Amino acid sequence: MERNVRISLSHWIFIDDTKFFGPGRVQLLENIEKTGSIVKAAQEMEMSYKKAWDMVVALNTLGKSPYVVTHKGGQKGGGAELTETGKQVLAAYKKLGEKLKAVADAEQELINLI
């Protein structure tokens, strides 16, 4: 019987023993970048706006500089976008994920034992 065995990792960045940045926040930032809106980003994740807003506030407060900037409504409506810092952190986190995946994928010895 053929089996598909693989190692899967998820990773978080902690600040002072508090989860700061991980898969959920990555997805939120990606959705904000794609939709230009915290509301729409939250809806795509089936998350409440309040939770998404709290995540953005945490990122902006605990990070060295803000990750997301918001724009007040007007004729075209409000919106949100990633700052350059937000884009850089997102890219660096994804790069780390690719490296960790490569390490896990290389652990053929363990996979063969299972």
21-113 has which CATH code? Answer: 1.10.10.10
Whether pLDDT at 2 is above 90:
no
Would you state the pLDDT for residue 77? 73
Model pTM above 0.95: no
Rounded to whole angstroms, the Cα distance separating 5 from 112 reads 8
Q: Decide which of 8 and 70 is more confident.
A: 70
- Burial state string for 11-22 with b = 16 or more CB within 10 A and e = fewer than 16: eeeeeeeeeebe
Q: How is the chain split into domains, by residue range?
A: 21-113
Model pLDDT for residues 18-68, shown as the tens digit of each residue: 899 999 999 999 999 999 999 999 999 999 999 999 999 999 999 999 999
Would you state the pLDDT for residue 107? 84
Kindly report the average pLDDT of the chain as a whole number: 92
Would you state the pLDDT for residue 74? 63
Arithmetic mean of pLDDT, 62-77: 86
Amino acid at position 65, single letter? S
To the nearest whole percent, how much of the chain has pLDDT over 90?
73
Would you state the pLDDT for residue 76? 67
DSSP result, 43-105: HHTT--HHHHHHHHHHHHHHSSS-SEEEE--STT--EEEE-HHHHHHHHHHHHHHHHHHHHHH
